[in-house]
């Protein structure tokens, strides 16, 4: 599959959309995506003023957004809202700074109609920057 705009699938919008594009989707199973950190993002101004660093929680949120793209690409979940239900075993291994390109990967495990688990990784220069297990809750959008 060619790359696509995550705004076509998930409801997130700037300034809380942390995916620039998504590719290699297997609906309901996995996805890969990219987040280009330009340095213009507001959070860099305060985290940290003299040494801007991407907050780890935002890396995990980016992985959760990618997981939502993979889920909502599955026919049975179209029109639903995917909520972030929890994080397990998050680890942050590399600093991500302005100008970096964070590659994101998510693999989903077993999913029911209401919830499921997945794992995600953020990769920087072919090295794992972060990884975490995630719980997804599936809800009606309205």
Residue 59 lies in a domain: yes
DSSP of 65-129, one letter per residue? HHHHHHHHTSGGGTTEEEEEEEEEEEEE-S---TT-EEEEEEEEEEE-SSEEEEEEEEEETTEEE
pLDDT of residue 142 exceeding 70, the answer is no
Is residue 12 part of the annotated active site? The answer reads no
Higher-pLDDT residue of 119, 142: 119
* Count of structural domains, the chain: 1
Residue 33 lies in a domain: yes
Q: Which domain holds residue 91?
A: 6-140
Record the pTM: 0.96
- Per residue in 54-86, pLDDT tens? 999 999 999 999 999 999 999 999 999 999 999
Residue 84 lies in a domain: yes
Q: How confident is the model at residue 17 (pLDDT cuts 50, 70, 90)?
A: very high
What is the CATH number for 33? 3.10.129.10
pLDDT of residue 1 exceeding 60, the answer is no
Residue 1 lies in a domain: no
- Active-site option among 29, 47, 94, 117: 47
Q: How confident is the model at residue 141 (pLDDT cuts 50, 70, 90)?
A: confident
Residue 77 lies in a domain: yes
């Amino acid at each position: 599959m060619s790359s696509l705009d995550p705004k076509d699938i998930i409801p997130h919008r700037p300034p809380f959309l942390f995916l620039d594009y998504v590719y290699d989707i297997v609906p309901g199973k996995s996805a890969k995506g990219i987040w280009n950190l330009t340095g213009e993002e507001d959070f860099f101004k305060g985290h940290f003023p003299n040494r801007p660093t991407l907050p780890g929680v935002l890396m995990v949120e980016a992985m959760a957004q990618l997981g939502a793209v993979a889920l909502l690409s599955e026919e049975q979940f179209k029109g639903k809202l995917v909520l972030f239900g929890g994080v397990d075993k998050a680890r942050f291994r590399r600093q991500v700074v302005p100008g970096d390109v964070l590659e994101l990967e998510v693999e989903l495990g077993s999913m029911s109609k209401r919830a499921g688990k997945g794992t995600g990784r953020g990769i920087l220069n072919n090295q794992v920057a972060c990884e975490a297990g995630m719980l997804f809750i599936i809800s009606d959008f309205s």
